[in-house]
A and B are shown apart, each in its own frame.
Chain A
Amino acid sequence: MTCNASEPTARQLTLSDAMVEALDQEMLDDGDVILLGEDVGRMGGVAGQTRGLFARHGPERVLDTPISEAAFFGLAAGAAQRGLRPVVELMRVDFAGVAMDQILNYIAKIGYCTGGKRRVPLTIMTQVGNPLRQGAVHAQTLYGMFSHIPGLKVVAPSNSYDAKGLLHASVRCDDPVVYFFHSSLLSIPYGSGLETWTAISVPEQAYQIPLGVARTAREGSDVTVVSASYTVHDCLRVAQQLAKESGISCEVVDLRSLVPLDIDHIIASVEKTGRLLVVDEDYGFAGLSGEIVAQVCESGVPLRQPPRRLTRRHVPIPYSRVLDDAVRPSVSRIKECICGMVEPARAAGR
């Protein structure tokens, strides 16, 4: 979907409003969809991502829970096996630790380990990212940690259109889906510093974006830059700058889904460009970025030079802005990395 906000007919929604719209439509459409989590009811979510749903659907279906993630994740998992379709929110992904046994050892496993006799149609909605520079435990993304667990589907939308379509698909999915929404994207298209391409049109009617399908956010020929969620925008910004400044042509692939991973889409792009850079806001070591690089290498697709990764350094996220800036992927690092990959080859006439 490449609708552009510059079209006069474009219907712009912030990412959080797109989420509210998807949840509202799902709840209207199916009485078995319930929403539960901390402050998702009366308050409408700490980031407005469930605003208005309590008033519209009532306290029996939009449930403010105590601070008891293990208990209410278990509750959601049990209810999901009796015909309900719970959307359960983990306020921030950093809080996963206190819910993790339910996710790791029950929700993810019970479908496979019962030979499909039980399924857990459950959406885990959770906020990631670090726009407020809140330090080590209110800032992580943890894409890799969840993707590593067999039995979970994982999505991470980068824009309002995908946010709505992926949320519809997640709620409809008969498997547990982890839905990462990024703090830095909640107010797009109105957020400062974000380019116009973030403001793609969001249809009012319900629609699904299939899980496991990536999209090409920008076409290019020199290098494939793969990313997800917020860092897709950093990659697009770099691509725009490089096109103007040095004529380097970047193809930006927005993963949308981390599990299933649309590796064919990535390989097809690398086949065209011959170069691969994976930009991941998550920790690099033993993470998703390494997985993507490995799968591309294993595919045997010809590469003009070794693939690169640009990720968070392998340290907890430091609080001070200047320390955080030293260990996270950023526009300048992405740019430097791409130039380092493409320019020497150009100088050598390859």
Chain B
Amino acid sequence: MSSNDEQLRTVVRTMIRARIFEESLGDEFAKQREHAKRAFGGRNGAFEDHNAEYTIPIQGNIELSIGQEAAAAALCSWLNTDDYAAGTHRSHALAIAKGVRMDRILAEIYGRATGLVGGRGGDFMLNDPDVNFENSAIMAQLTGVALGHAFAHRRQSSSGIAAVFIGDGASNQGIVHEAMNLAALWALPVIFVIEDNGYAISTERARSSSVEDLAVRALAYGMPGRSLDDSSLNEIVEGFGSAVARARSGAGPGLVVVHTHRLRGAFEGDNQSYRPAGELEREARRDALALYVEDLLSRGIIDAVWLDEARSAAIREFEEGLSLAEASPYPDPATAQEGLFA
């Protein structure tokens, strides 16, 4: 499959939207945490019930995918609404790339009735059946579920496929290996994507995986495995294009490993002191989004006006989403016990 300029612009626009969404969310979270610190020296502390003024709207941990937007944006540029895409705890970029609305994500993170799932899932269980996206904060859990979407697509003779993201850390979960074997055995149209950012929270890949290039694991299951570096826009777009085409053609599953860079902590507030001195700065210089923008500008595929417009549109989209989240009602507590069963 080959891409065209419009597709490259789409990929970069998606990455810009994801980047601005997450930077803005991170800023908002930092602001709120600062506010809470005044009361507790932390946020949402043990005594928050006694000090509602300092209870902050963003609940839980925020885990940002800043620096690793490329794989999500490139893959989704080949997907249709009916294709399934499953993410991890670090999946805002994938959600946005798959077509989930920013305002509904924000409202969900804010625990509001207008959230994607009405405040019942939160950031770790975002779910949008309309565009066939979900994520899970249980490492590699959805590698199993993705098989079912792929199985159903094949059984219903649709040309749909399933894609599931995990990180280099989660690639060592047992279910990943079960799922790869079963997918290859039954020739299911599923793409396993490993975003290799080099770290599982603080544990670097070399201390958790027995091989350096995780793509070699595909060989053990009789499927193609490919390692891509996210420094090249064309390589990553084309790479996903051929994996998607292969899955759609009925030839079975594939593994795509994307070498990428986690430019924020494992969670907001993680100071990354476990990284060797200078590493984070080196990683930042390899930020795919910055490289892509430079590349497209130099090739004349985008210009400064396009870039400004893309950024302002994303900022507006976030701000409108945040307003919706803040203005939305909380779910009715009387409904907390409803909906357990169909």
A residues with a Cβ closer than 8 A to B are: 60, 65-66, 68, 70-84, 86, 101-102, 105-106, 109-119, 121, 150-151, 153, 173-175
Contact = CB atoms under 8 A, between A and B. Distances in A.
B159 to A, nearest CB: 14
28 contacts: A60-B155, A66-B178, A71-B143, A71-B179, A71-B182, A72-B144, A74-B141, A74-B143, A74-B175, A74-B179, A75-B148, A75-B151, A78-B152, A82-B148, A84-B148, A84-B151, A101-B175, A102-B144, A102-B175, A106-B142, A110-B127, A112-B339, A113-B117, A113-B125, A115-B339, A150-B340, A173-B342, A175-B342
B66 interface: no
B252 to A, nearest CB: 15
B155 A71 contact: no
A68 B182 contact: yes
Contacts of A101: 138, 141, 175
Contact of B151 (A79, A102, A110): A79
B274 interface: no
Chain B, interface SS category:
helix
A74 B147 contact: yes
Contacts of B162: 78
B104 to A, nearest CB: 12
Given A75-B144, A82-B152, A117 B127 contact: yes
A72 B148 CA distance: 8
Interface string B150-175: 11110110000010000000000011
Contacts of A65: 182
A286 B114 CA distance: 38
B144 A66 contact: no
Given A66-B182, A78-B151, A83-B156, 6 more contacts: A71-B178, A74-B142, A75-B148, A75-B182, A81-B148, A84-B152
B118 to A, nearest CB: 4
Contacts of B129: 81, 114, 117-118
Report which residue of B84, B144, B179 has the largest number of chain A beta carbons within 10 angstroms of its beta carbon.
B144
A62 to B, nearest CB: 13
Given A66-B178, A71-B175, A82-B153, A77 B144 contact: yes
Contact of B145 (A77, A114, A153): A77
B151 to A, nearest CB: 5
Contacts of A174: 341-342
Given A71-B175, A111-B340, A111-B341, A66 B152 contact: no
Interface of B: 84, 117-118, 120-121, 125, 127, 129, 136, 138, 141-153, 155-156, 162, 174-175, 178-179, 181-182, 185, 339-342
A105 B144 contact: no
Contact of A114 (B121, B175, B182): B121
A177 B18 CA distance: 39
Contacts of A106: 136, 138, 141-142, 144-145
A105 B138 contact: yes
Given A66-B185, A82-B152, A117-B127, A74 B145 contact: yes
Nearest to A175: B341
A83 B174 contact: no
B265 to A, nearest CB: 25
Given A113-B120, A115-B120, A78 B145 contact: yes
A106 B155 CA distance: 23
A174 to B, nearest CB: 4
Contacts of B340: 111-112, 150-151
Contacts of A175: 341-342
Report which residue of B127, B142, B145, B147 has the largest number of chain A beta carbons within 10 angstroms of its beta carbon.
B145
A70 B120 contact: no
Contacts of B341: 111, 151, 153, 174-175
B177 to A, nearest CB: 9
A115 B118 contact: yes
A285 B136 CA distance: 32
A105 B152 CA distance: 22
Contact of A76 (B120, B148, B174, B179): B148
B149 A78 contact: yes
Contacts of B121: 113-114
A116 B149 CA distance: 18
Nearest to A31: B155
Contacts of A75: 144-145, 147-148, 151, 182
Nearest to B339: A116
A114 B339 CA distance: 9
Contacts of A81: 129, 148-149, 152
A173 B148 CA distance: 19
A121 B152 CA distance: 14
A300 to B, nearest CB: 22
A105 B129 CA distance: 18
The 10 closest A-B pairs by CB, nearest first: A74-B144, A78-B148, A82-B152, A71-B178, A68-B178, A174-B342, A79-B148, A75-B147, A115-B118, A78-B145
